[in-house]
Chains A and B, each alone.
Chain A
Amino acid sequence: MKPNRLTVSWPVLLAFGALLASAPALRLAADTPAAVPDAARTDSSGDAEAQLAAARRQLEQAAHEVARLSEQISGELIDQMMPLVETGHAIIGVQLDPAAGPSGARVREVSPGGPAAEAGIHAGDVIVAVNGQPVTGTAPARQVVKIMRDVKPDSRVTVRVLRDGKPREFVVTARAGPEFFAALHGMPELGSLAQLHGDFMFHRPLGELELVTLSPRLGSYFGSDKGVLVVRAGSEGPLKLEDGDVILAIDGREPTSGSHATRILGSYQPGEKVSLRILRQHKTLDLESVLPERADHTGMMQRDGPLPEPASPHRTVIFGNGDI
């Protein structure tokens, strides 16, 4: 029987198509005074902003739900395949063509937002060497996979490719793969990879945190040439950050962008300690916090057991108060 892939795809595509089609119409309606409903006309500015904030929260929750369920479903399949395939601890975010090429391993797909994509590798590039080791031969894709087994997460990998016949070299920062992630967090205790992501990745109570990657000019204003600027820390943020702080390091890892900081923060579980090195009003501080219990989809706190003692669910210790 032919696999029926469209059962899910049609509703998804229809919904998405409807959204895309309706966007310009909605925009036009909003710009036309006569199209403003009577009820909306009487809204005060505060009401509209409150409604917008609520809609934004719903949008965020819906996006999380799509991502969480998608990850959960794919996690089940990955769980089935993991014992059958030997993978490494680190990944660079490419899918290689298993067919043997004459000159190297052809990149069939580049993972969107993955390390290779960020470094500038394209689908169709032909990998001829990884970390100086040539991969030309009868099974170049297999050689690349084998080399990657020895690469550690966060290490820099030099990838030499042929693009349109011309050699180019890229430095890719490898990320942790599923095997490393499972080993690090004690997979047997936590359950499957599907659950691992479904339960922990999207329930961080960090929803109000807003970050900006420091540009050189912005960096000079804040007194740092690296790090990520906190433009909105949110109220009662568990990390005790303040607006205007610059995050220099998270447990020793230096975030290079807002996305990178999001990834690092997303790797912590509730109850885990997080150490931040920040710049606050040109002074370097070290903050230590413990992430509180996880929140459910609506951002409300959720506890599996009885309520703990009335002490704060998170603690923050500030130590050090000078430049390093």
Chain B
Amino acid sequence: MQPDLDQPGSLARVLRELPAAGAPPYPFAEFQRRARERTRPSRSLAGGRWLAAAAVGALAVVALSLRLHPHASVREPPLGDTAPLARAASPAPHAEIMERWLASLPREPGVVHVGTHQAVTGLEDRIAQVDDLLSAAGTQRQPPPQFVALQQERTRLIGALVQVRYAETLADESR
């Protein structure tokens, strides 16, 4: 029940009974900063920008390493080595992890940005071509000497596809 404020002295008494004012949770400068924050673009936008910048940096490193060492992964085995085909038959463990990650992704982003997706489809097609070539080469009586190198090249292409799809995912998220 509310006290009768019309009674003489009631208002003063009620005011006296109020608890002491607490300290403000933050100073006015912080209030202004938070107000600015609310009017800025969404945090997801800012997050997407930082993520995109980080991805650009990482992909630039990758592109640079590819430029500097374009053939490091495709050296041919020496003649007379009989083990390479057996080694090639079992893909590297990290390649399996990458392929599992790729398989877990949706077939394509909800909105396909053609500019980015061309890089994905180009790599996918190249991997399919390599697989086709490896199938045909493997059935020959004497597989070509480049067989193992091509198998290793496939692993590297899978790595590149993982990077490009990750970049595509980030770019898609930041839109």
Contact = CB atoms under 8 A, between A and B. Distances in A.
A66 B115 contact: no
B114 A207 contact: yes
Interface string B41-60: 10101111111111111111
A80 B145 CA distance: 10
Interface in B50-106: 50-63, 65-67, 69-78, 89, 91, 94, 99, 102-103
A40 B136 contact: no
Contact of B54 (A23, A208, A213): A23
Contacts, number: 351
Interface string A23-52: 100110111010010001101010011011
A214 B86 CA distance: 45
A74 B164 contact: no
B131 A111 contact: yes
Interface string A99-129: 0000000001101111101100000000000
Contacts of A192: none
A112 B102 contact: yes
Interface string A187-198: 000000000010
Contacts of A317: none
A276 B64 CA distance: 38
Contacts of B163: 12, 16, 63, 66
A96 interface: yes
B107 interface: yes
A41 B32 CA distance: 11
| Interface size bracket, B side | 35 or more
Contacts of B77: 3
Contacts of A70: 66, 123, 126, 156-157, 160
Interface residues of A, number: 107
A112 B127 contact: yes
Contact of B124 (A5, A82, A114, A202): A114
Contact of A257 (B48, B108, B150, B175): B108
Contact of B71 (A19, A41, A73, A115): A73
B40 A26 contact: no
A134 B163 CA distance: 39
A30 B174 CA distance: 13
Nearest to A64: B119
Interface in B117-134: 117-134
B82 to A, nearest CB: 14
16 contacts: A5-B156, A9-B156, A13-B159, A16-B62, A27-B50, A59-B52, A62-B59, A73-B66, A87-B132, A87-B133, A88-B132, A144-B135, A197-B122, A213-B108, A257-B107, A259-B112
Interface of B: 33-34, 36-37, 39-41, 43, 45-63, 65-67, 69-78, 89, 91, 94, 99, 102-103, 107-140, 143-144, 146, 148-150, 152-164, 166-168, 170-171, 174-175
Given A74-B130, A113-B128, 20 more contacts: A8-B72, A8-B73, A9-B73, A16-B163, A26-B47, A59-B171, A66-B63, A66-B160, A67-B122, A67-B164, A69-B67, A84-B137, A97-B89, A113-B121, A114-B128, A145-B135, A177-B132, A178-B133, A258-B109, A263-B121
